[in-house]
Amino acid sequence: MVKLADAEKAQTKKATRAAYGATLAELAEAGVPVVAVDADLTGSTTTKKLADAGYGNRLFNCGIAEQNMIDVAAGLSLAGNVAFTGSFAVFGTGRAYDQIRNTVCYSNLNVKIAPTHAGVSVGPDGGSHQMLEDVSLMRGLPGMRVLVPADYAAARAALKLAAATPGPVYVRMGRAAVPCVYDDDVELEIGGAYLLREGADVTIVANGIEIREALLAADTLAAEGIEAEVIDAFSVKPLDADTILASLKKTGCAVVAEEHSVIGGLGSAVAELTAAQYPVPLEQVGVRDRFGKSGDLDELLTYFSLDANAIVEAVKKVRARKGLC
């Protein structure tokens, strides 16, 4: 099993977006021909750190023009660069979707779509900026790989993996500082997942900031005599079918938790897998067909039923359904 953060480190919080510019600078220092193309948000996305590290000639600020940002990145990739794009997720995927589809994916270009500020964890910016459909949009594109890291260390690993993977890759990052889950040297792989906790009674599949909530839920359930198996499905596309199916054959039911709409994201991917290969009762924890709302992260996790308590309730519900099958 993968090495998790120790108890002291698990108490610290860092935003996944904080890994972005620092990792690009690290890659540049290692000789990787990375460039970053941003849409007037170099401070918020942290791509400015690439310039601060002495690689200002590799950072291109296109202004508030996300569609142009994608096309500039496409051109830079054709010149032999590993091109990363940076904006808020609502703009970096939604406003630029046509360019991602028809320029990047249709031609299988080496462009990495790596926006920050995804999900309800944007917080006070509210529903207009809380992108809850991005995984669905990116997952549906032919040739796009989709990664949703749980914490700073996983985001750093996801960005390195994206740089080393030819073709389009989507890396989802957030604004808010979140607890550390993994040890600093964690590595990810396309199509991979990590079994974080073993259990025989229910499978909890999660990713992003919901990993921490899933682990807290597993603690609560254990105190009630329910042993939950927790899987970090950081690779939404391609999905690690083998790891998930092996767990389901042991537990016989599943809860999928994600900081995203229940339509088209991780929950949909797991439901498609189970329907085709191993049908079991399944419940989803996610945002249900609505826009976000302004508030603090912890408030929003509770408001949208995304917290550990919501996962516990979903587990009890799915186990009751399992007993009827």
Q: Is the pLDDT of residue 206 over 60?
A: yes
* Predicted confidence band of residue 11 (pLDDT cuts 50, 70, 90): confident
Distance CA(256)–CA(99), nearest Å, equals 31
Q: Is 227 a catalytic residue?
A: no
Length of the chain: 325
Mapped onto helix, strand or coil, the DSSP state of residue 275 is helix
Which of 1-5, 26-30, 194-198, 255-259 is least confident? 1-5
- Which of residues 36 and 3 earns the better pLDDT score? 36
The model's pTM is: 0.97
Report the pLDDT value the prediction gives residue 59, as an integer from 0 to 100.
Answer: 98
Nearest one of 139, 322, 109, 148 to 232, comparing CA atoms: 148
Which part of the chain is CATH 3.40.50.920? 194-324
By DSSP bridging, strand 235-237 and strand 145-147 are antiparallel
- The arrangement of secondary structure in 194-324, i.e. its CATH architecture, is 3-Layer(aba) Sandwich (3.40)
Task: Write the pLDDT tens digit of every residue in 15-64.
Answer: 999 999 999 999 999 999 999 999 999 999 999 999 999 999 999 999 99
Cβ 272 vs Cβ 266: under 8 Å: no
Query: What average pLDDT does the segment 203-229 reach?
Result: 98
pLDDT digits 0-9 by tens, 155-195: 999 999 999 999 999 999 999 999 999 999 999 999 999 99
- Separation of alpha carbons 96 and 74, rounded Å: 12
Which positions ≥6 away from 22 have C-beta within 8 Å? 46, 49, 156
Catalytic residue among 26, 66, 133, 283: 66
pLDDT, one tens digit per residue, over 285-322 is: 999 999 999 999 999 999 999 999 999 999 999 999 98
Superfamily covering domain 13-179: Thiamin diphosphate (ThDP)-binding fold, Pyr/PP domains (3.40.50.970)
Residues spanned by CATH 3.40.50.970 within the chain?
13-179
User: What is the pLDDT, as a whole number, of residue 324?
Assistant: 61
